[in-house]
A and B are shown apart, each in its own frame.
Chain A
Amino acid sequence: MKKLLLSSIIVLIGITFIGRLSYLQIFSFSPNQVLEDTAIKAIYDYPERGYIYDRNGLLLVGNDPAYDVMVIPREVKPLDTLEFCQLIGVEKEAFIRKLNKARIYSPRLPSVLVPQLSKEDYARLQEKMRKYEGFYIQKRSLRYYNTNAAANVLGYIREVNERDLQKNPYYVQGELTGGTGVEQQYEEILRGRKGVQYIQKDRFNRDIGPYKGGILDTLPQQGKEITLTLDKILQEYGERLMNGKRGGIVAIEPSSGEILAMISGPTYDPALLVGRERSRNYSKLHYDTIAKPLFDRSISAEGSPGSPFKTLNALVALQEGVIQPSTTIKCYNGFYVGRTKRGCHCGGGTRNLNSGIYNSCNAYFAGTFRKIYEKFPTTDEGQDTWEKHIKSFGLGNFLGYDLPTGRPGRIPGKEYYDKWYGDNRWASSYIISNSIGQGEVAVTPVQLANMTAAIANRGFYFTPHILKKVEGENIENPHFTAPKYTTIDRKHFEPVVQGMADVYNKGTARWVQVPGIEIAGKTGTVENYTKIDGEKTQLTDHSVFVAFAPVDNPKIALAVYIENGYYGSRYAGHIASLLIEKYLKGEISRKDLEKRMLEKTLEHEYAKPYSGEEFKINEYVW
């Protein structure tokens, strides 16, 4: 027993040790040790971010050097504080406070003392920097915007957050990444790849040479420059026209699906989100919950399409053979759904397809819509057919454009109404509002523009996209370069296009003709409601317009959606015509109209629901 005692203790100790060691070295061991190891520090070499150009090679976004004054508190020698403060443009008290803060953070590690000096300050300081030990200047690269427009398309640069870090192991805390827009969508192309150098540290965090002789180190890869499909001049002009107005404008080149302009109002100057004032400006924009300048209305604002949607219903009816262009329907300054009369502003009379479109007759399209459903033995089949055709225009889904935000809109299917009314407890009369683009259908401006492009192309579209070239090479992604065909035969488009052309010639937009350019378009006046103190209240109609030009060889198709702008040709129609003229001719002949559109704002309309007082809608104040 006594002889075995010591041996057992020896063996027991050995087992305990091996147990503890296996806990430490096998169970607690984490394989990501190069990144977590406090003894190894990764030093990154960030490449310059790629430039962004517009479709004509005009610079949109470049880089600007910025200079941070850095300090390593331990190395600071007594200095002429007053002179130094003058040089860097900081109050003496602030300087001492910042220096103390840096010392508390770490006496041995560099801290930013003054971020982002101006070039002038830098030039003055550079000469004398040598005199001040412990301070040095670190060059950084900031985004420089060669335009005050397109903030919603370009996006901004922000610091990575927890979610990015979890999602993508490339990033480490404190790095920058694109937020929204192109900067986010094409982050990896623009960013390039940072170089890394692993440095071995001792316990005082001093460098003691490269880790493993540098075999894991990499060189940075430059970010690539990209060319957008955007037309800088058109974009800037559109944003000026949106002065004081809310809404979205999207212009597309029908023959390629390239987005020429993508305007959201109100917007902001992209330069606000760069530099020292960034966070203050961002908060201001973020917390403006009424105007929502950060909300990209051009791709995210869902609303009823209004009358432009009638063109699609006409196409569906033609395709299904339930009407001919010559088919007539009588308008009684409205139409009846059961015993209820629904109004129409077309003036009444007998309408065919052509006059139905150019006078935007509600009765004509209600009748047409019914005919579609009446063709089929059940409403369900009618709804399926209608839904299939409408969705082939890219409505009711995310469309697949290359921007990171957006909304799908809504093209209701039979399930939607089954849920609402119950199985087989509804018919075309229940959903008759869809015939005129009110009701349950919802679209975004980019979808409207794309739909218009599909009509302009007489039956197909290219998925709208914003990226044109990478490093001068055209994109080859078939998702964007292959046409997508609608379910409507080409021959059915001509009468509809003719109707849209007549909207300008003799219809609802005859006042907004552009001399010398043949335009096809369609007005829309969208009734809309909001809740004020829990009560459903109607607001001034949204002004909507879709158009493409020239009629026979379309170069531009666009959708303009102006919130509370009253009837279609009032704001949207005018703005659309100005944009078309600007794009096709380069200059504006109707200077007075241009002046009016640039100057008139709708702020008084937007203030109404918040005024707390009774207000009138659809006032004719011109």
Chain B
Amino acid sequence: MSGKNILKRLDWLTIVFYLLLVGIGWLNIYSSTFTDNNASIFDFSELYGKQLLFIILSFLSVIVILALESGFYERFSSVLYIISIVLLLGLFVFGKTIAGATSWYNLGFFNFQPSEFAKVTTALALAKYLSDIQTDIKKRKDQFYAFLIILVPVILIIPQPDPGSALVFLALIFVLFREGLPLFYLGIAVLAILVFVTTLMFGTVWVGIGLSLIIIFFFVLKRTSFKAPIAPIIMVFVASILFSLSVNFVFNNVFEQRHRDRFSLWLRLEKDPSKLELIRKTIGYNTYQSEKAIESGGFFGKGFLEGTRTKGDFVPEQHSDYIFTTVGEEWGFVGTTTVVILFTLLLLRLVYLAERQKNDFSRMYAYGVISILLVHYFINVGMVIGILPTIGIPLPFFSYGGSSLIGFTALLFIFLKLDANRLNEWG
């Protein structure tokens, strides 16, 4: 059914969001790597020139993706998954090390990062497995296999080391929730994170008091309607307190200093101004500089190519992981809000598209796409504006980098292809 009218059936709204993000991203990469020597924008020795090449390559890959029959992705998902696992394994032998992480293959003209490819294939494989008529996510055994599909690439990526990318795969668990994994798991995870953070910030005593207050509030609220499940609540409470007690021990005795530093930086545990000054110059340098750069943009920003901190290279990795600081400095609050809104609209649009799929595979894959994009966007922007700890992963469609741009493009357009074909596939 592919042919002329595939163009008519594509979701152009999503494509507009995509093009806007890629375009704005490139402008900011141009600004942060621009060097005043009047080179052409197609100068491939400059990073912005290379990125332009990657954009063109992405567009070519879009043509290939749309040209393939939509059934291809479902049918070959297992094969693609296995290829990507092999590629990840191959890194242990042939990998190229950049900035301390052995995550790349050297292909001559550019470095290929298989973990970006694996994001696509893992999302496909997971969708394929879950959509199988035999699979029932309510069963423990099937939950185990689903987790295994996610965890294999994670286990291969962690030793590169690239914990950021590894974390992204865990986001695929959202797909499981959508497909019926009890929310209980999510609740436990959220509670654990909350207890961990609040214990570091306020101490176990306050965590206990806070939890008690919540439980009392809960009882007061629910008193008239139905009988509250007292036993599980008490169990959760006791477990939380125990966990909270263990947090202090783990934080002080198991964590290394650099981990402690990251947390104390993130949660602003350090109050002594002289030590803060030191932190700003050492472990907190990136965060401090990126916050300052964004702050200095003000409401309207300093204007395109006028970002003084951008020009002065104050923010490290500004063209890749910290590209959002360029938006903040040069385009101000107006620019940053626009980008946040664009991402929000894109993701909401994808949720809408996912939910209208008739085909389980398509829907599950869509959820995989959304989860991966969301977690990238959340962690990256959160890190840059200083509300999350430093975890180095790129901002989708925005950050400099060929593998990630082509990877995200493929991720998105495979879904758009599936969506375009949804009316032809009943079942």
Contact = CB atoms under 8 A, between A and B. Distances in A.
Interface stretch (A26-34, A121-129, A318-326): A26-34
Given A17-B382, A17-B385, A11 B344 contact: yes
B382 to A, nearest CB: 7
A2 B332 CA distance: 36
12 contacts: A3-B178, A5-B183, A6-B367, A6-B374, A11-B344, A21-B336, A25-B332, A33-B296, A37-B308, A38-B309, A39-B308, A209-B36
B344 A39 contact: no
Of all A-B residue pairs in the complex, the 8 with the closest CB atoms, nearest first, are A39-B308, A14-B344, A39-B312, A25-B333, A202-B312, A29-B298, A10-B347, A24-B295
A75 to B, nearest CB: 21
A516 B148 CA distance: 120
A16 interface: yes
B149 to A, nearest CB: 20
B374 A13 contact: yes
A212 interface: yes
A40 to B, nearest CB: 5
B351 A38 contact: no
Contact of B385 (A24, A26, A37, A39): A24
Contacts of B312: 38-39, 200-203, 208
B304 interface: no
Interface in B287-338: 291-292, 294-299, 306, 308-309, 311-314, 328, 332-333, 336-337
A40 B308 contact: yes
A25 B367 contact: no
Contact of A6 (B174, B291, B299, B386): B174
B381 interface: yes
Interface in B256-308: 291-292, 294-299, 306, 308
A79 interface: no
Interface residues of A, number: 35
Given A21-B340, A26-B298, A203-B313, 10 more contacts: A3-B351, A6-B367, A10-B348, A16-B387, A18-B340, A21-B333, A25-B328, A25-B333, A37-B296, A38-B314
B299 A26 contact: yes
A37 B387 CA distance: 23
Contacts of B381: 17
Contacts of A25: 294-295, 297-299, 328, 332-333, 336
Given A24-B291, A24-B294, A31-B298, A6 B370 contact: yes
A29 to B, nearest CB: 4
B308 A211 contact: yes
B378 interface: yes
Interface string B350-386: 0100010000000000010011001001100110011
A589 interface: no
Overall SS of chain B's interface: helix
Nearest to A212: B306
Contact of A9 (B332, B341, B374): B374
Interface string A524-566: 0000000000000000000000000000000000000000000
B391 to A, nearest CB: 15
A21 B296 contact: no
Interface in A149-166: none
**Which of A9, A13, A22, A39 has the most B CB atoms < 10 Å from its CB?**
A39
Overall SS of chain A's interface: helix
A3 B355 contact: yes
Interface of B: 36, 174, 177-178, 183, 291-292, 294-299, 306, 308-309, 311-314, 328, 332-333, 336-337, 340-341, 343-344, 347-348, 351, 355, 367, 370-371, 374, 377-378, 381-382, 385-387
Contacts of A211: 308
Contacts of B341: 14
A21 B385 contact: yes
Contacts of B337: 18, 21
A91 to B, nearest CB: 35
A6 to B, nearest CB: 6
B177 A5 contact: yes
B295 A29 contact: yes
A201 B311 CA distance: 8
Contacts of A21: 294, 328, 333, 336-337, 340, 385
B309 A39 contact: yes
Nearest to A31: B298
B42 to A, nearest CB: 24
Interface string A294-337: 00000000000000000000000000000000000000000000
Given A26-B299, A33-B296, A13 B328 contact: no
B372 to A, nearest CB: 12
Interface in A558-607: none
A25 to B, nearest CB: 4
Interface in A339-381: none
A119 interface: no
Contacts of A24: 291, 294-295, 328, 385-386
Contact of A2 (B177, B311, B382): B177
A101 to B, nearest CB: 20
Contact of A200 (B183, B308, B340): B308
Contacts, number: 109
Contacts of B294: 21, 24-25
Interface of A: 2-3, 5-7, 9-11, 13-14, 16-18, 20-22, 24-26, 28-29, 31, 33, 37-40, 200-203, 208-209, 211-212
A200 to B, nearest CB: 6
Contacts of A9: 374
**Which of B298, B308, B311, B341 has the most A CB atoms < 10 Å from its CB?**
B308
Nearest to A1: B183
A14 B295 CA distance: 18
Contacts of A37: 296, 308-309
B340 A14 contact: yes
B343 A14 contact: yes
Nearest to B343: A14
Contacts of B385: 17, 20-21, 24
Contacts of A31: 298
B197 to A, nearest CB: 15
A293 B310 CA distance: 55
Nearest to A36: B296
A3 B178 CA distance: 7
A39 B340 contact: no
Contacts of B292: 38
Nearest to A11: B344
A212 B177 CA distance: 53
Nearest to B35: A208
A25 B327 CA distance: 12
A33 B301 CA distance: 12
A40 B386 CA distance: 24
Contacts of A212: 306
A35 to B, nearest CB: 12
B351 A6 contact: yes
Nearest to B306: A212
A328 B304 CA distance: 93
B296 to A, nearest CB: 5
B336 A10 contact: no
Contacts of A6: 174, 178, 351, 367, 370-371, 374
Contact of B378 (A13, A28, A209): A13
Contacts of B344: 10-11, 13-14
A21 to B, nearest CB: 5
A25 B384 CA distance: 13
Contact of A26 (B333, B371, B374): B333
A39 B298 CA distance: 16
A38 B343 CA distance: 32
